[in-house]
Chain A
Amino acid sequence: MSRRQPEAIHKGHACGGEDNNDEDSQQRYDATLNNLGQSIMRTFYDEISQIAGNVVTVKARAIGYDELAVITTNQGSSLAQVIRLEDDQVSLQIFAGTEGVSTGDKIRFLGHSFKVPFDDALLGRVFDGSGRPRDGRPEVKAEAVEIGSPAVNPVKRRVPEKMIHTRIPMIDIFNTLVGSQKLPIFSVAGEPYNDVLARVGMQADAEIIILGGMGLRHDDYLTFRHRFDEAGVLGRTIMFIHTAADPVVECLLIPDQALAVGEQYALQGKNVLVLLTDMTAFSDALKEIAITMEQVPSNRGYPGDLYTQLARRYEKAVDFDGAGSMTVLACVTMPGDDVTHPVPDNTGYITEGQLYLRNGRIEPFGSLSRLKQLVNGETRDDHRAIMNACIQLYAQCEESREKREMGFELSDWDTRLLKYGDLFEEKIMDLNLNIELFDALDKCWEILAECFDPEETGIRDAIIEKHWPHETHQTKPEPQAETVQA
């Protein structure tokens, strides 16, 4: 932003190419902020008494809690938000950070809290944590909505009932994503979590896709953009992106902006999919601010209200009674592959299940979609049977693999389980698969038939009769499967 080192801007420019963070847009942005400020209130305040962390304290009167302000320094302007009022001392969180802020700088209050413009003109656009375009195109002029709306009245919510097809068998068959669900992907750093997210974004049948990137590597952002473009969904996508190079505070407003826009579309009757990555970066930003504010940390430095802060965002996932819905899929990287780390732990207590991403796969055992039973009875009669049988057999295969590793003798049953496990991993668990649910179910049947007799699967006779492939060894036309490039 404003006071970012010029070198950094140039670097971003050089490697990004599309990320148009040049002087031009900065000036335009400053002008907009100034207009905004002047139209509402001409007075500015410059009696800054304290600058610490990302927080500036200034003497001012009649300022509302949570209100937005613009701070102008000799290097540019930044948004700021009121986080504490005490007599005439107003503490503000400066989005661009306080580096280079001087005690003589001017602060102008805007008379309202943070707002995002809401309009179809947002589609296909990219914004940063302060709501400023990062695609080099002009500001969106439209009526703005406040972020952080109140909670939805529970009696205005519907029980979710619509499956979201992602064309990833490990999700569709085993951990079905349901419209209005909030589901995190718990991942070790280095796993292709953003790839999974992008895949779901491209393949899910959502009318509006909103991507909220926090602490994203610039390359990852460009990859998202590129892939959405290629898949032809960019036209119904809105991105709010904070990269690792941007000021930490800007990260905090990413989920709120994404969810506020998503909520408006949902109220208009649209089915919205919000993708958030990485919520651990968001939580770390919360931690940083809390420490600056000298709050007593509760667990590993995180503030005591981490649960509340996360829940307020995730709970925005909703199926409105009489309007549309919003589904939230979020990435949570687990520091040290530790689920008991405060961020994944608090998340697990909030979300409706979780997907574990390990060794490039969605882990079949710990992963759980708590809402799946609301929809998987209605897809195809063999869905639940396949779901249970395949996982149970895979669990047995793991036992056989242990036996093999210990050097024990393997029975015929073990050998067949081992064969099954390999086939299952290759044809179903592979994250690059891109197939319809029914085709995926058919594939499961084929694998079962290749390895087992019907009775050995533990599936009810009625289902077996209907679905067991008759001639297993005959080459059948492959179901339409395409493999996505990783």
Chain B
Amino acid sequence: MIGRIKAVFGNMVVAQTEDRVVKNAVGYCVRNDGIKLLCEVIRVRGDSVDLQIFEETRGLRVGDQVEFQEDMLSVVLGPGLLGQIYDGLQNPLPKLAEQVGFFLEPGNYIHALDTERLWDWTPKVQAGTVVEAGDTLGSVPESIFEHNVMVPFGWEGQYTVRTVAESGSYPIGKEIATLTDSSGNERTVTMEQVWPVKRPLCVAKRRLLPSKPLVTSIRIVDSMFPIVRGGTYCIPGPFGAGKTVLQQITSRHAQVDIVIITACGERAGEVVDTIREFPELQDPRTGKSLMERTIIICNTSAMPVAARDASVYTGMTLAEYYRQIGLNVLLLADSTSRWAQAMREISGRLEEIPGEEAFPAYLESRIANFYERAGAIELRDKRIASATIGGTVSPAGGNFDEPVTQATLKVVGAFHGLSRSRSDARRYPAIDPLDSWSKYVGIIDPKKVQKVHNTLRRGDEIRQMMTVVGEEGTPIEDFAVMLKAEFFDSAYLQQNAFDDVDAATSVDRQRFVFDKILEVLEADFVFKDKNEARHTLRKISSMFINWNYARWDESVVPESDRQDEPMNKAAHKDDEATERGDFKEILGQIDQYVQSLLKNADKSQAKDKLEQATA
């Protein structure tokens, strides 16, 4: 299937052909120096075909040849994806660097998986077994996981296993089974298969309502605005508010099996941080390098725009693949606005009727379809697996009232809105506790969450009122509520991402500390005056902040109530233990101080009563 270029405009090419073309199939534009540029059919009108080119179009000419393919833009799936660093089209970047050097020269495509590496194959079926798409035929170990090799997902109907390879070490291209369909046709299976990125991959018995909390170890998320395995959430925020840092710490500490980081149209430097740091960092849950549970898809802002659009889908498809294997996967996309902008650029070139802010009319449905690909599922063999999506949004001018943020808010289950005022005040993570929301239930009893929420809201109202009536005009009871809200904010919601201990708070610890915080919020302290109130709550705050830096001591929770997964203790650096306080010791100090305040309160109340009685 051959065509000829008729027009070139930006990253769009119009080709003319008499042959059959498939919409969304890929093709190659052949430059007159022989370099082939990957492209995708995005519109067909008569004999003219609109193509978006995944590379720079410099040098293409009218009359150059276009080779159309049958397949849609697809990714390769199989063992060896973990730990890889890919571009948006799944080219392994380290290999590209080896072969091409410093720059991503157009027209270089490399197979996504190592075809030479040997994998230890163990068959799980025998000749005669009847199988369907997605069923496991055998497995190979990858990192700490058992990587199932499955019947290709696109195969319809039932098959009978005719042969299956014996245990042994094979490369991914090895024929590991032959299957026959109901009409007796034979098909062979290897360890790799391909899947078109824009088609959702979900072979399941049924979809489940996501409900199991996905623990990020970030207190404000887990306790206040939780996310769940198989759910979706978004992080909109103005530039510099901390979206990327929030995703980076999530990618380190989130309690999932696999994290897929999609850097979509953002800075190359941020990816470099991750690439350089992750191999050195230890996953406390497995003791292995963090890189072994991570895949990085990176299409930074200087890379071609059309591939930016592809990169989020590439990431999503890999996430769905590992979900089919039976794992819990978290896809982090930074930033979905860049993806939306890529859509806008392409739509503009197609001269489609623009919607708001020149985004295409289908922006909402594209965003909805993307987030819809997340989900918890029950596999055919009853195992439960999930893919969760967290996307950042970069609204123009930091104003959430714009098409991408609004379209995203309609479809996600949780909203972590970052505010400029919080980031300016260095209150990190800068998630606004009054604007943000979550539809999910997390690790803390919702009734308790509601209580602190009320305190926060009330505190904010009082603070606003105070700007009008002044401190003098504010009753001391209200003043105390405001201070309590401030205490909760600084001692619990804010978290130091760069401290070894404070960076990640486990479930048991969050529950324990949250209860202690509630005790303080609900305590009826009696203060002589506002100065005393301020002084007292500052003191409590600083005790709690110190407490946050102390290492967790699980013995404060009865064994039967513990939920934390066992952590790899070797990760602790004891040399700094001297600088940190002891968890139980600080707990004792807090209890003692709060008790003494309450006793004073009782006394003064008793005194008040006495005075009232005598009067």
Interface centre among A154, A316, A365 (most CB of B within 10 A): A154
Q: Within the complex, which residue of A84, A86, A298, A311 is in contact with B302, where a contact is CB–CB below 8 Å?
A: A311
Which residues of B lie under 8 Å from residue A397 when comparing CB positions?
none
Flag if A348 contacts B240 (CB, 8 Å).
yes
Q: Within the complex, which residue of B58, B94, B302 is in contact with A315, where a contact is CB–CB below 8 Å?
A: B302
Which residues of A lie under 8 Å from residue B62 when comparing CB positions?
61-63, 85-88
Interface residues of B in 254-272 (CB under 8 A from A): 265, 267-269, 271-272
Q: Is B345 an interface residue (CB 8 A)?
A: yes
* Smallest CB separation, A108 vs chain B (Å): 17
Q: Is A139 an interface residue (CB 8 A)?
A: no
CA distance A148 to B100 in the complex (A): 17
Flag if B301 contacts A307 (CB, 8 Å).
yes
Which residues of B lie under 8 Å from residue A379 when comparing CB positions?
none
Q: Is B104 an interface residue (CB 8 A)?
A: yes
Flag if A345 contacts B345 (CB, 8 Å).
no
* Smallest CB separation, A356 vs chain B (Å): 12
- The residue in chain A whose Cβ has the minimal distance to the Cβ of B274 is A154
Which residues of A lie under 8 Å from residue B272 when comparing CB positions?
154, 157-159
Interface centre among A148, A315, A346, A368 (most CB of B within 10 A): A315
A85 in contact with B97 given A149-B103, A151-B300 (CB within 8 Å): no
Stretch binding the partner chain, chosen from B217-225, B396-404, B592-600: B396-404
Which residues of B lie under 8 Å from residue A86 when comparing CB positions?
6-7, 9, 14, 62
Task: Count A interface residues, CB 8 Å.
Answer: 60
A151 in contact with B103 given A304-B344, A365-B424 (CB within 8 Å): yes
CA distance A67 to B62 in the complex (A): 13
Q: A-B contact count, CB below 8 Å?
A: 167
Q: Is A46 an interface residue (CB 8 A)?
A: no
CA distance A85 to B424 in the complex (A): 48
Interface residues of B in 1-50 (CB under 8 A from A): 5-9, 14, 32
Flag if A85 contacts B8 (CB, 8 Å).
yes
Flag if B396 contacts A154 (CB, 8 Å).
no
A353 in contact with B240 given A151-B104, A151-B303, A298-B344 (CB within 8 Å): yes
A159 in contact with B276 given A315-B267, A349-B239, A350-B267 (CB within 8 Å): yes
CA distance A318 to B424 in the complex (A): 28
Which residues of B lie under 8 Å from residue A342 when comparing CB positions?
396
Interface residues of A in 144-183 (CB under 8 A from B): 148-160, 180
Flag if B240 contacts A304 (CB, 8 Å).
no
Which residues of A lie under 8 Å from residue B276 when comparing CB positions?
159
Q: Is A436 an interface residue (CB 8 A)?
A: no
Q: Is A370 an interface residue (CB 8 A)?
A: yes
Flag if A62 contacts B267 (CB, 8 Å).
no
Which residues of A lie under 8 Å from residue B265 when comparing CB positions?
307-308, 311
Which residues of B lie under 8 Å from residue A151 when comparing CB positions?
103-104, 268, 300, 302-303
Interface residues of B in 91-120 (CB under 8 A from A): 93-94, 96-97, 100-106
Q: Is B373 an interface residue (CB 8 A)?
A: no
Which residues of B lie under 8 Å from residue A368 when comparing CB positions?
240
Which residues of A lie under 8 Å from residue B359 when comparing CB positions?
298
Contact with B along A353-373 (1 / 0, CB 8 A): 110000000000110101100
Flag if B103 contacts A315 (CB, 8 Å).
no
* Smallest CB separation, B501 vs chain A (Å): 19
Contact with B along A283-299 (1 / 0, CB 8 A): 00000000000011111
Q: Within the complex, which residue of A148, A267, A298 is in contact with B358, where a contact is CB–CB below 8 Å?
A: A298
Which residues of A lie under 8 Å from residue B271 when comparing CB positions?
154
CA distance A366 to B421 in the complex (A): 11
CA distance A366 to B305 in the complex (A): 31
Q: Is A66 an interface residue (CB 8 A)?
A: yes
Q: Is B56 an interface residue (CB 8 A)?
A: yes
Q: Is A65 an interface residue (CB 8 A)?
A: yes
CA distance A62 to B59 in the complex (A): 10
Which residues of A lie under 8 Å from residue B345 when comparing CB positions?
304-305, 308
* Smallest CB separation, A244 vs chain B (Å): 28
Q: Is B273 an interface residue (CB 8 A)?
A: yes
Q: Within the complex, which residue of B102, B275, B397 is in contact with A340, where a contact is CB–CB below 8 Å?
A: B397
* Smallest CB separation, B96 vs chain A (Å): 6
Flag if A156 contacts B302 (CB, 8 Å).
no
* Smallest CB separation, A159 vs chain B (Å): 5
Which residues of B lie under 8 Å from residue A236 when comparing CB positions?
none
Q: Is B250 an interface residue (CB 8 A)?
A: no
Flag if A85 contacts B268 (CB, 8 Å).
no
Q: Is A352 an interface residue (CB 8 A)?
A: yes
CA distance A297 to B62 in the complex (A): 28
Interface centre among A88, A152, A318, A365 (most CB of B within 10 A): A152
Q: Within the complex, which residue of A84, A154, A159, A365 is in contact with B8, where a contact is CB–CB below 8 Å?
A: A84
Contact with B along A322-353 (1 / 0, CB 8 A): 01000000000000000010100110111011
Q: Is A320 an interface residue (CB 8 A)?
A: yes
- The residue in chain A whose Cβ has the minimal distance to the Cβ of B32 is A64
- Binding site secondary structure of chain A: loop
Which residues of B lie under 8 Å from residue A85 when comparing CB positions?
5, 7-9, 60-62
CA distance A210 to B8 in the complex (A): 33
CA distance A84 to B301 in the complex (A): 23
Q: Within the complex, which residue of B32, B60, B103, B238 is in contact with A150, where a contact is CB–CB below 8 Å?
A: B103
Q: Within the complex, which residue of B6, B58, B102, B348 is in contact with A296, where a contact is CB–CB below 8 Å?
A: B348
Flag if A155 contacts B358 (CB, 8 Å).
no
Q: Is A113 an interface residue (CB 8 A)?
A: yes
Flag if B61 contacts A65 (CB, 8 Å).
yes
Q: Is B338 an interface residue (CB 8 A)?
A: yes
Flag if A64 contacts B102 (CB, 8 Å).
no
CA distance A83 to B9 in the complex (A): 7
CA distance A62 to B302 in the complex (A): 28
* Smallest CB separation, B500 vs chain A (Å): 16
CA distance A371 to B267 in the complex (A): 13
CA distance A159 to B276 in the complex (A): 8
Which residues of A lie under 8 Å from residue B398 when comparing CB positions?
340, 345
A366 in contact with B424 given A65-B61, A296-B354 (CB within 8 Å): yes
Flag if B396 contacts A299 (CB, 8 Å).
yes
Q: Is B298 an interface residue (CB 8 A)?
A: yes
CA distance A87 to B56 in the complex (A): 20
Flag if B240 contacts A296 (CB, 8 Å).
no
Contact with B along A34-73 (1 / 0, CB 8 A): 0000000000000000000000000001111111000000
CA distance A180 to B354 in the complex (A): 38
Flag if A156 contacts B358 (CB, 8 Å).
no
Q: Is A227 an interface residue (CB 8 A)?
A: no
- The residue in chain A whose Cβ has the minimal distance to the Cβ of B423 is A368
- The residue in chain A whose Cβ has the minimal distance to the Cβ of B335 is A349
Q: Is A312 an interface residue (CB 8 A)?
A: yes
* Smallest CB separation, A435 vs chain B (Å): 27
Flag if B102 contacts A153 (CB, 8 Å).
yes
- The residue in chain B whose Cβ has the minimal distance to the Cβ of A266 is B102
Q: Is B287 an interface residue (CB 8 A)?
A: no
* Smallest CB separation, B296 vs chain A (Å): 9
Which residues of A lie under 8 Å from residue B588 when comparing CB positions?
none
Q: Is B290 an interface residue (CB 8 A)?
A: no
Flag if A304 contacts B358 (CB, 8 Å).
yes
- The residue in chain A whose Cβ has the minimal distance to the Cβ of B95 is A155
Interface residues of B in 223-263 (CB under 8 A from A): 238-240
Contact with A along B339-358 (1 / 0, CB 8 A): 00100110010000010011
CA distance A350 to B101 in the complex (A): 25
Known: A84-B8, A151-B104. 17 other contacts (CB 8 A): A61-B63, A152-B268, A156-B101, A156-B102, A157-B269, A159-B273, A298-B359, A299-B357, A299-B396, A304-B348, A311-B302, A340-B397, A345-B396, A350-B301, A366-B424, A370-B240, A371-B269
Can you report 11 residue pairs joining A to B where beta carbons are below 8 Å apart? A65-B58, A85-B61, A86-B62, A153-B96, A154-B93, A155-B94, A155-B97, A296-B348, A296-B358, A315-B267, A365-B424
Measured CB to CB, the residues of B under 8 A from A are 5-9, 14, 32, 56-63, 85, 93-94, 96-97, 100-106, 238-240, 265, 267-269, 271-273, 275-276, 298, 300-303, 305, 338, 341, 344-345, 348, 354, 357-359, 394, 396-399, 424
Return the 4 tightest CB-CB contacts between A and B, nearest first. A340-B397, A311-B301, A315-B302, A348-B239
